Structure 1
């Protein structure tokens, strides 16, 4: 079964090259990609994930203001019943970002499952998503096969 991912650039960011590369890479890897484009609001991500019954939401940001743009994002997903959707964020996420481990911790605290820097090869993100979605599917399958006394 094809997995659907929502991809877009959050906030006022207008950097399109990265998501175009990601769209092509994820499609070539067999994913069904809904590319929301640039300057995408949190609401547009949530609406698209709901409409497409997406397994993952991939957020991109290169202009350095993702910390502000992503505040409350996971709360919106939960409010829409999308708490099980896998979420990734990547790019140049913070202005003056010196310590990416600190940036990663910040975005993980916001609820993102994985956080990638702007130098991440798309194949790394694809491999991570395959592993994360397979793990989630395996857990769901195991639960459905559990015998209850």
Structure 2
């Protein structure tokens, strides 16, 4: 499998632990991961997605201001002619007590999938495999069942 994932923390957010865990999980699952690190602009995501021919762009945010940081995100991707699945996850809104409302907000902003901060990386990996129509190989099935 050579599916490429661009991963980063958007805006002014400097939380690195979550993307480090995601980088390790997606790499272990067989994805080629490009980790942009923290405080990544919308334009940096788009540039990396083009450069690495990304199949997916994963945005992380933990400081609660993701809606502000993600306004115009998909427009920037479209201007760069990026055709990739987009996911966002983390603590996306200050006082995030109704996650379904938060999910709706980010779906309206154009994200294909929206995850809360408690989501297990395996759930996101399984969703991405479905979205990219990646079927498990025999080796993958043996690894999962072990």
Residue equivalent to 1:95: 94
Aligned-residue CA RMSD in angstroms? 0.8
Q: Does 1:107 align with 2:127?
A: no
Structure 2, unaligned stretches of length 5 or more? Answer: 135-146
Query: C-alpha displacement at 1:96, in angstroms?
Result: 1.1
1:128 aligns with 2:127: yes
What is the CA deviation profile of residues 104-135 of structure 1, one whole-angstrom value per residue up to 9, with x for unaligned ones? 00000000000000000000000000000017
1:26 aligns with 2:10: no
Report the counterpart of residue 142 of structure 2 in structure 1: none
| Alpha-carbon separation, structure 1, partners of 2:117 and 2:96 | 11
Alignment partner, residue 140 of structure 1: none
**Structure 1 moving runs of 4+ over 4 Å:** none
The 2-side partners of 1:3 and 1:32 are apart by: 6
Structure 1 residue 78, shift from structure 2 partner: 0.8
Task: Give 1:1-149 correspondences, 5 Å limit.
Answer: 1-82=1-82, 84-134=83-133
Structure 1, unaligned stretches of length 5 or more? 136-149
Give the number of aligned pairs. Answer: 134
Looking at structure 2, the residues matched to 59 and 75 of structure 1 have their Cα atoms a distance apart, in angstroms, of 15
Q: In the aligned structure 2, how far is the partner of 1:23 from the partner of 1:97?
A: 25
Tell me how far apart the structure 1 counterparts of residues 75 and 15 of structure 2 sit (CA, whole Å): 25
- SS for the counterpart of 2:132 is helix
**Normalised by the size of structure 1, how large is the TM-score?**
0.88
- 1:67 Cα deviation from its structure 2 partner: 0.5
